[in-house]
Amino acid sequence: MPVDFSGTWNLISNDNFEGYMVALGIDFATRKIAKMLKPQKVIKQDGDSFYIHTTSTFRDYLLQFKIGEEFEEDNKGLDNRKCKSIVTWENDKLVCVQTGEKKNRGWTHWLEGDDLHLELRCENQVCKQVFKRA
Ligand code: YOG
C-alpha cells in the first residue's frame, strides 16, 4: 500500500524559498509578497490520480496528474514557464521531474511522522517546506 498524502496541510516552515524564487526568475516585488504567505495544500489521492491544490491569499495553483504519465505543466501564476512533468514513486516518496528551460527542476513530497515534507528544486537551489495537518 502506498503512502496516503490526502488531507489539508498548512505550511509551518519554508527554508530557502527566496533562493528558489530567484532561480525561477521571480521579480523582487512578487518575492516580497510571496515570502510572507503561509500556503495551504489540499491533496486528494485516489489510486494513481492526484489533485494538489496550493492556496494562499495572493495566488493559488492547482496540479492534477496520474503517476507515470507525462503532462504539460503551465505553472500559471507561478513563473508561467511551461514544462513537461512526470511524477513517479521512489519508495514512499512522490517525485516530480519538470523538464523545460530551467535545469534540475522538480519536487519531492514525503511524510515524516505527522508532517508533510516538500523539497522544491530549481537549478542549484533547494527550498524545503514542512506542512502540518490543518
Ligand atoms: O507544489 O509546485 O505540492 O504543484 C511554488 C511557488 C506564490 C506566487 C508554489 C504563490 C514558486 C509568487 C507551488 C504560492 C514561486 C511566486 C502559493 C509549489 C513562484 C511564484 C501558490 C508546487 C507542487 C507540490 C504541486
Q: What pLDDT does 107 receive? A: 99
What's CA 124's distance to the chain center, in Å? 17
Q: What pLDDT does 1 receive? A: 62
Q: Using one digit for the tens of pLDDT, what is the confidence trace for 67-126?
A: 999 999 999 999 999 999 999 999 999 999 999 999 999 999 999 999 999 999 999 999
**Ligand 1 binding pocket mutation candidate from 40, 53, 78, 79 (most atoms within 8 A of CB):** 78
- Could you report how far apart the first and last alpha carbons of the chain are, in Å? 24
User: Considering the entire predicted model, what is its pTM?
Assistant: 0.98
3-state class (DSSP) for residue 75 = coil
CB of 52 within 6 A of ligand 1: the answer is: yes
Q: Whose C-alpha lies nearest to ligand 1, atom 8?
A: 78
Q: Buried (b) or exposed (e) across 86-122, using 16+ Cβ within 10 A?
A: bbeeeeeebbbbbeeebeebbbbbbeeeeebbbbbbb
Q: CB within 8 A of 115, min separation 6: which ones?
A: 12, 130, 131, 132
Q: CB within 8 A of 116, min separation 6: which ones?
A: 5, 7, 9, 41, 43, 109, 110, 130, 131, 132, 133
Longest CA pairwise span in the chain (Å): 44
Q: What pLDDT does 2 receive? A: 77
Q: Using one digit for the tens of pLDDT, what is the confidence trace for 31-79?
A: 999 999 999 999 999 999 999 999 999 999 999 999 999 999 999 999 9
CA distance linking residue 48 with residue 36, whole number of Å:
33
CB of 3 within 6 A of ligand 1: the answer is: no
Grid cell of 106 as nine digits: 522538480
Q: What domains lie within the chain, and their CATH numbers?
A: 7-133 (2.40.128.20)
CB of 30 within 6 A of ligand 1: the answer is: yes
